[in-house]
Chain A
Amino acid sequence: MKHAKKNYRRQEAQRPPKKDTRQTQRSGGSLSEKLIAYRDLQAHALFSSLGRLLSAKFTSGMTITVLAIAIAMATGFYLVVKNLQQLTGNLEASNQISLFLKDEIAEGRAKRFADTIQQNPSIQSVKLITKEQALKEFVAYSGFGDAMNALEKNPLPIVIEVIPKSALQDSKSMTVLMQEYNQSPEVDFAQMDKQWVDRLQAIMDIANQSSKLVSSILGLAVLFITGNTIRLELNNRREEVVIEKLVGATDAFIQRPFLYFGFWIGFLSGVFAWLIVTIVMLLLKQPIEKLSGLYEGAFHIVFLGFLETLSLLLISCALGIVGSWAVLKYQLHQLKPE
């Protein structure tokens, strides 16, 4: 100890002029020195807040798990919609009309009916699908072949697929055409393919919208949970904050470690949420691929892409920081030295 004291005194004695000029300065040194000091301050706040978070393993673990589950749920909804959209996205909104003929209509009459439709100048093409063709197609693609074989009678109707000329794209004349078909005695009912694509699209829009709403609510929950965690942390470190205020700390200085604390909570929750989502997706991958295989492999499960993973992490961090900031803004003013 004494040795250190002596050493120190010797150093002081060796450079008195430099010491003196520095003493008169109000705050530390040149601009570059200040910048380095500022960087050190940031780095220190970044790592000390992580250390603090990790030292309270149980509390931090629980908070981060809750946040991760909320974020994972929001991400899950997003992925469900994304995967469904992949299914419906392939459907082109053609304006094909399918005419399902009445059961008692024989094939010959159906052919004549198809010919009459063909003569209409606004029709581009007509295709007749007989009961047998329909059955073959159904057995081949649906995977319910055995069930169909068990039936005594082919339940499928004759279908005439009508594609109108492109001049007839507008919906009014299409509606007139539809009514005309619906009234003809051979037709059980007429259906525009576009109609059900539209309907499916509408359902998808609802699913998409709901997913966004639920995600926003979950995001809000994340915001509040982070805020509350920071509030507790601030309370735990009340003494420290008061002392810092008394020795001249600005709010920015006092806030810094807490904001980093919020950042770490957000970041770790984001990483954890990504893990949850990925594990769930991996568990679902096989059954879904199997189902897809049964449907000619038209569907493949879609994971989060690189940019989506990046946004997941960025949004998580942002929520952590904003949640902390909002609480600090409000609570720091209330914490006054006494």
Chain B
Amino acid sequence: MLKFENVSKRYPDAGDVLLNVNFHLQRGEMAFLTGHSGAGKSTILKLIAMMERASRGEVLLDGQNLNVIKEKQIPFMRRKMGLIFQDYKLLQDRTVFDNVALPLIIAGFGHHEISRRVRAALDKVGLLGKERKYPMTLSGGEQQRVGIARAVVNKPPMILADEPTGNLDPALSAEIMQLFEQFQQVGVAILIATHDISLISKMNHRVLKLDHGQLVKG
């Protein structure tokens, strides 16, 4: 599903943030990406989400090399992944329904299909009935679940999460992780960047550990 082959990323003013990173995330596999701040977690996510391009090496998603992908193709590649953020990145002036529907609207789905899928996604994250609420009126955990519903509504084969539980207490974090496991069980590949060691240790999943830009475990 996702393959890093000798990937390095160098910034002119910061030097090498990633150095010869190799790993392969299988379809339906769940893995944690961990390491100290500045170890390169975000850079890896940025490379996958095509916000940055690798300086050397190849990032392959579904067999396609993201380094050579054309600018015009980026939106279509991004539809193959659901992104989840620490700060949720929800549109505050739109309802929960509209937030979750956004990827479907962008992909050009019809009205009925959108309605059906959004409700299915909200049902999965336990927010059915809150479609008409605005994000501001929801708790942090609920907002993150809206973010997750938005990430999975288009049924992408892969989910990327950047510190998804960073703003949540341990109980809520555990709930969110259980949610991720449910998605994994239906064949979605999941990569979660986090520095929450206790959370990682409680769960039995692959751990990719970064140290100063190099993969030391994984």
Residues of A within 8 A of B (CB): 1-2, 4-5, 8-9, 12, 19, 22-23, 27-29, 33-34, 36-38, 40-41, 239-240, 242-251, 253, 336-338
Asked if A8 contacts B123 (CB within 8 A), the reply is yes
Q: Which residues of B contact A240 (CB under 8 A)?
A: 91
Q: Which residues of A contact B102 (CB under 8 A)?
A: 243-244, 247
Q: A8-B128, A249-B75, A337-B51 are in contact. Are A244 and B106 (CB under 8 A)?
A: yes
Q: Per-residue CB proximity of B98-133 to A under 8 Å, as 1/0?
A: 000011111111110110100110010000110000
**Closest residue of chain B to A1, judged by CB?**
B129
B154 CB, min distance to chain A CBs, angstroms: 8
A242 and B76 alpha carbons, distance in the complex (Å): 15
User: CB within 8 A of B109: which of A28, A249, A253?
Assistant: A28
Are B51 and A5 in touch, CB under 8 angstroms?
no
Known contacts A37-B111, A337-B51; decide if A8 and B78 are in contact (CB<8 Å): no
A10→B109 CA distance, assembly (Å):
23
- Given contact pairs A1-B129, A36-B111, A245-B75, A28 touches B91 in the complex (Cβ within 8 A): no
Partner-A contacts on B (CB < 8 A):
49, 51, 72, 75-76, 78-79, 83, 89-91, 102-111, 113-114, 116, 119-120, 123, 128-129, 150, 154-155
Q: For the complex, give the distance between the alpha carbons of A27 and B156 in Å.
A: 11
B75, A41: Cβ atoms closer than 8 Å: no
Q: Considering the complex of A and B, which 7 residue pairs feature the smallest CB-CB distances, nearest first? A: A28-B109, A1-B129, A248-B79, A33-B110, A248-B78, A250-B75, A247-B103
Secondary structure call for the B interface: helix
Q: Given that A248-B78, A337-B51, A338-B51 are known contacts, is A34 also in contact with B108, CB under 8 Å in the complex?
A: yes
Give Cα A33–Cα B122 distance, bound, in whole angstroms: 23
Interface centre among A40, A245, A248 (most CB of B within 10 A): A248
Given A36-B110, A243-B91, A247-B83, is A5 in contact with B123 using a C-beta cutoff of 8 Å? yes
CA distance A239 to B150 in the complex (A): 16
Q: Which residue of A has the minimal Cβ distance to B99?
A: A243
Query: Which residues on B sit within 8 Å (CB–CB) of A251?
Result: 75
Beyond the given pairs A245-B75, A247-B103, 14 more chain A to chain B contacts, judged by CB atoms under 8 angstroms and listed by A's residue number, are A1-B128, A2-B129, A8-B128, A27-B109, A28-B104, A28-B109, A28-B113, A243-B102, A244-B106, A245-B78, A247-B78, A247-B150, A248-B76, A248-B107
Please indicate the chain A residues that have their CB under 8 angstroms from the CB of B155 in the complex.
23
Q: Which residue of A lies closest to B103 (CB)?
A: A247
The interface residues of chain A lying within 8 Å CB-to-CB of B129 are 1-2, 4-5
Assess whether B78 is in contact with A41, with CB atoms less than 8 Å apart. Answer: no
Residues in chain B near residue A5, CB distance under 8 A: 123, 128-129
A242 shortest CB reach to chain B, Å = 8
Chain B residues, CB < 8 A from A36: 110-111
Q: Complex Cα distance A251/B90, Å?
A: 20
Query: Given the complex of chains A and B, what is the CA–CA distance between A338 and B87 in angstroms?
Result: 13
Chosen A-B contacts, 19 in total, with CB atoms closer than 8 Å, are: A5-B129, A8-B123, A27-B109, A28-B114, A29-B109, A29-B110, A33-B110, A37-B109, A41-B108, A239-B89, A240-B91, A243-B90, A245-B78, A246-B49, A247-B79, A247-B83, A247-B102, A247-B106, A248-B107
Closest A residue by C-beta to B79: A248
Q: Please give the distance in Å from A54's CB to the nearest CB on chain B.
A: 15
- Bound together, the chains give a CA A178 to CA B76 distance in angstroms of 80
CB distance from B125 to the nearest CB of A (A): 13
